[in-house]
Amino acid sequence: MSGEEVPIVVCVSADMSMRERVLRQLDGLGPVLNCADLTELRQLLSSPAAAAPLRPATVPPGVPQGPVRWGELVVDRAGHRVTWRGDPLPLTPTERELLALLIGPPLVVWSYEQLFAAVWSGPYPGSAILHSAVKQLRHKLRDLPGGPQVHTVQGIGYRLDPPPRST
């Protein structure tokens, strides 16, 4: 594989706990596509978005190009780097782009459709790709004391709370 290629793992299981175990075991490897059954997988693969590259797209218009900050978290798109309190965070390019969008000003609720279009440059197929990427991102942010937490806005999308105020 070249330096830009990332393996895609497909997990098909009706057992949610099995799919969660696969995500935990493969954390950080790359995108993990979780489907409950083969019908869902076929639907996903036959959607127009299936042809979209599974890598971060160019930054959408109106989104800050330079480093974005959320408290002590800094996402530097140009430098392909994320730091928390000065220490690097090992995020995949997809996780980095999702985080940059979520923390970038203004803090808003990003719809599933907006996030998918911004990161994968395609229409949202209602798939598990976005949800899987957010789950991996949440897992990596979980251990940051006072760090950002990705919240689900049921049926709409994702958001972050404002950063804590400095004292």
Domain boundaries in the chain?
9-160
Please report where in the chains the tokens 């489907």 appear, as a residue: 35
pLDDT by residue (tens digit) across 25-78? 765 566 667 777 787 777 766 655 554 444 444 445 555 567 889 999 999 988
Predicted TM-score (pTM) above 0.75: no
Q: Give the separation between CA 97 and CA 3, rounded to whole angstroms.
A: 17
CB 120 within 8 A of CB 53: yes
For the record, the structure tokens of 133 come out as 């990427």
Pick the CATH number of 9-160 from 1.10.10.60, 1.10.10.10, 3.60.21.10, 2.40.420.20: 1.10.10.10
Q: Are strands 73-76 and 81-84 parallel, antiparallel or unpaired?
A: antiparallel
